[in-house]
Structure 1
Amino acid sequence: MSYEDIVVEQADGWLEIQINRPDKLNSIRETTAWEIMEAMAAVEMERSCRAVILKGSDKAFCTGIDTSEFTIEDNEYFDFYRFRRRTRKVNQLFRELPNYTKPVITAVEGFALGGGLELALVGDLIVAGENAKFGLPEIKLGLMPGGGGTQTLPRLIGKPLAKKMMWTGRRISAAKARDFRLVNHVVPAGQAVEKARELARSIAANAPLPVMFTKGVIDRGEDMALADGMTAEADVSFLLYFTRDRQEGLQAFREKRAPNFRGE
């Protein structure tokens, strides 16, 4: 399938999606969001695809939402509310990405601002080049985060730091983002994608069903009571006893060889 706003590459074990709107510093419009969702949906049922890497350019991962599409006539406010609530692709992307069943790794070079940072936050892992800049500058425009940032960022770095970032609108460096535990890795500029591939390769070597189950239990368990979260973990952990990959993993361990996991 050909795309207008993204470039898609199938690697050995994962999918790479590059936001490709350099003239707009990779800001997201409706077309961009729809294409990202379509590309990810196309491989969600493919067992050979074990992860997804989201990336941008050396200058910018993503600088937020393309405001040129955010125009509302005087008599259309309620219509836009319904559109945003029900059918707007940008909003759907932020809602659906956390429920994707495979790990999503974001490789950030340059700017990850506003909706761009929020897009990274609804993924699973973030790798940053040392030149990366992160921020939620909406407050400077009389706005506030609208892609989940008020919910995802405090859960990751705590309320005080999240409030400071949002209320000042300041950008932080990759090193500071690592100090805040916002990113998993900081690497030399230009090497974020390669580090993301290293992570994807490591994930792809493991059994995909436990990866999927742990992703779901961790993400849902964050909003559960501890006892409920432990029950959820125990239930899905028990299901793995009946998989062929479990048998293969144990057999490979006994035979001192690399396992051949097939996601079944």
Structure 2
Amino acid sequence: MLMDFKTLQVTDEGSILRVQLNRPETGNSIDGQMLSELLSVLRALEDDNTVRVMVVSGAGDHFSQGGDRSEFPELLEKDTSGSALRSLADKAERVCSALSQLRIVTIARLHGDVIGAGLGLAVFCDLRVGADTCRFRMPEVGLGVPPAWGGVLPRLAEEAGQAWVRRLLLTAEAFDAARAEQLSILHEVVPADGLDAAVARWARPLVRRDPTTVRITKSMLNARAGATQLAVGSYFDGDLLTDAVARQHARGRR
């Protein structure tokens, strides 16, 4: 899989595809361009019969410090109806949905800050290993917007449990790798210099798994999560996020 991107570094190793978020100067903040490029990778994988494992990581000091909020005002200035911002939010939902429904196994390799949209992207991966120095946070409520990015709320609640997610969202408090492992946001915590070894330890047997069995197993695991997502109305997340950001922007212009 040969691809040339501006915000991603993609390395094809045959049975393993490595996708690195590559905006280190912004803390790997996730913008519209990165979402489009992630969609391109995920769509290409739908027709690829070689890759068995995809590893998602971040360049520089952090996995991702969240969504790139700097593009919100520009999108609203260009389109006061909010449709451009809504399109961005819908694109995030498509990325996360495609990631969770991918036929192959996905591994998130986490280090540094894993915040907001960065945590959302990570939690849609099947397996997650993090450095013991990782720092996590869902700051949306503190920033005045709902936790609507990518439909992350039902996925996070499924993985970490409703009670803890309620606390983390409403308080917007930071938590460390040990707490993330306790909440099953991380499946394993290792020293930073042991991340690659941990990923390799998981990937080696996974590339030998029967692809049909993996696909069916993932479909079974996703069935309950899909019902939960519909129940909480996360398909309307794009509208919720757009409305909140537009109101913030309007207040700022007064």
TM-score by length of 1: 0.78
Point out the more displaced range, 54-63 or 109-118: 54-63
Once the 2 structures are TM-superposed, how far is the Cα of residue 203 of structure 1 from its aligned partner? 0.6
2:7 pairs with 1:9: no
Q: Distance in 2 between matches of 1:48 and 1:150?
A: 32
What does residue 158 of structure 2 align with? 155
Q: Distance in 1 between matches of 2:163 and 2:145?
A: 19
Once the 2 structures are TM-superposed, how far is the Cα of residue 174 of structure 1 from its aligned partner? 0.6
Once the 2 structures are TM-superposed, how far is the Cα of residue 159 of structure 1 from its aligned partner? 1.0
After TM superposition, the structure 1 = structure 2 runs for residues 1-264 of structure 1, keeping only pairs within 5 Å, are: 1-57=3-59, 59-71=61-73, 72-73=76-77, 76-80=80-84, 83-84=87-88, 89-147=91-149, 148-222=151-225
Amino acid paired to 1:189: A
Kept in 1, the 8 Å contact 2:130–2:186? The answer is yes
Over 3 Å counting, the alpha-carbon distance change for 1:183 and 1:194 in structure 2 is: same
Render the CA deviation track for 1:166-201: whole Å, top value 9, x for unaligned.
Answer: 011111111111111211111111332331232122
SS of the equivalent of 1:92 reads helix
Amino acid paired to 1:5: T
SS of the equivalent of 1:63 reads coil
Q: Distance in 1 between matches of 2:22 and 2:132?
A: 21
Once the 2 structures are TM-superposed, how far is the Cα of residue 81 of structure 1 from its aligned partner? 6.0
Once the 2 structures are TM-superposed, how far is the Cα of residue 223 of structure 1 from its aligned partner? 5.3
Point out the more displaced range, 109-118 or 201-210: 201-210
Amino acid paired to 2:192: A
Amino acid paired to 2:61: K
Over 3 Å counting, the alpha-carbon distance change for 1:31 and 1:75 in structure 2 is: closer
Over 3 Å counting, the alpha-carbon distance change for 1:40 and 1:78 in structure 2 is: closer
Q: Distance in 1 between matches of 2:39 and 2:204?
A: 22
TM-score by length of 2: 0.81
Q: 1 or 2 for the larger relative contact order (CA 8 Å, sep ≥6)?
A: 2
Q: Distance in 1 between matches of 2:178 and 2:206?
A: 25
Q: Distance in 1 between matches of 2:227 and 2:34?
A: 33
Kept in 1, the 8 Å contact 2:27–2:60? The answer is no
Q: How many residues align?
A: 223
Render the CA deviation track for 1:70-128: whole Å, top value 9, x for unaligned.
Answer: 1213972343465346xx53342123222212111101011110000000111111110
Over 3 Å counting, the alpha-carbon distance change for 1:6 and 1:165 in structure 2 is: same
Gaps of 5+ in 1: 226-264
Over 3 Å counting, the alpha-carbon distance change for 1:185 and 1:81 in structure 2 is: same
Kept in 2, the 8 Å contact 1:61–1:111? The answer is yes
Gaps of 5+ in 2: 229-254
Kept in 2, the 8 Å contact 1:29–1:66? The answer is yes
Once the 2 structures are TM-superposed, how far is the Cα of residue 224 of structure 1 from its aligned partner? 6.0
CA RMSD of aligned residues (A): 2.1
